[in-house]
Amino acid sequence: MMNIVLTNDDGVHAPGINILRESLADIANVIVVAPLTERSTTGHTLTLDTTVRLQEISENIYGCNGFPADCSLMAIGHLFKNPQSKYYGQKIDMVISGINRGANLGQDVYYSGTVAAAREAAFHGIPSIAVSSCMDFLNTENKDLYYYSASNFIKTLVQSNISKVIPQMSLLNINVPWCKEAEILGTRVTKTGLRKYSEEIEERIDFRGRKYYWIGGIYKGYEDFSDSDCQAIEDKMISVAPVKLCDYGRSQMEMMETVKGFLEDVLPRKS
């Protein structure tokens, strides 16, 4: 079976990564390397000025005190290369980062620790996917059920050998609507869109009379253009966005056409 490394930015105990692990466990050897604490919105941070520690939580599940990109590196550069490791001499066939709690659409990909972990693996030549469930944070009543909408989709892709379709120096950024699987209207190959935020800075005063600030703001919609990942989610469709990491190999349009053809072949059509 394939060796699949799972990571995320929500933390090793987050429901999304554990539901995905359960879904993939019967078709692959799954190794989890994820942050010990939440590391959302940390981007492509690597720990270079302090120690990185790895803790074995249970069989094939490891917690790391670093950032999501550190977790990918720990799997690639340590667990699978250390002669004392039980994985030594084996190959990582895929890295999947997620299932993230919340969307990673538009320019979110540059802030996202989830996407960064997949990107770090892609830099090392490993087929990689970032997957997010576009959670409605005001309605989390059926959150585990909705995570299965994303995990079942990823399982279908893995079983259909999606790893063979992802070109070098690229990844797939997948976003899944926050709803039951039967309510999803289809799948669309998309481009990275642009979201709008108010980007408010709130000034407050601490108990010593000193100023401090919260960076916040309100989501205010997205730029309206064809084939955007933002529009796909608005249309209740799964967004599959090929992300090209450098000027290498196939063009963005060629990648989109390749992924589109693959999905048309392996996914059932909605009547």
Q: Which two tokens stand for residue 127?
A: 């087929």
Q: Are 135 and 222 in contact (CB under 8 A)?
A: no
> Was 163 annotated as part of a binding site?
no
Q: Which two tokens stand for residue 265?
A: 């072949």
> Was 60 annotated as part of a binding site?
no
Estimate to the nearest angstrom the gap between the alpha carbon of 23 and the chain centroid: 16
> Whose CA is closest to 123, among 78, 47, 69, 173?
69
Helices 143-159 and 15-24, packing angle to 10 deg: 40
> Whose CA is closest to 28, among 4, 11, 53?
4
Q: Are 31 and 95 in contact (CB under 8 A)?
A: no
Q: Which two tokens stand for residue 174?
A: 């997948």
Q: Are 195 and 230 in contact (CB under 8 A)?
A: yes
CA–CA distances in Å: residue 68 to residues 112, 227, 229, 241, 263: 9, 29, 23, 20, 28
Q: What is the 3-state secondary structure (H, E, C) of 84-149?
A: CCCCCCCCCCEEEEEEEECCCCCCHHHHCHHHHHHHHHHHCCCCEEEEEEECCCCCCCCHHHHHHH
> Was 227 annotated as part of a binding site?
no
> Was 170 annotated as part of a binding site?
no
Residues at the binding site are: 9-10, 40, 100
Residues tagged in the binding site annotation for a divalent metal cation: 9-10, 40, 100
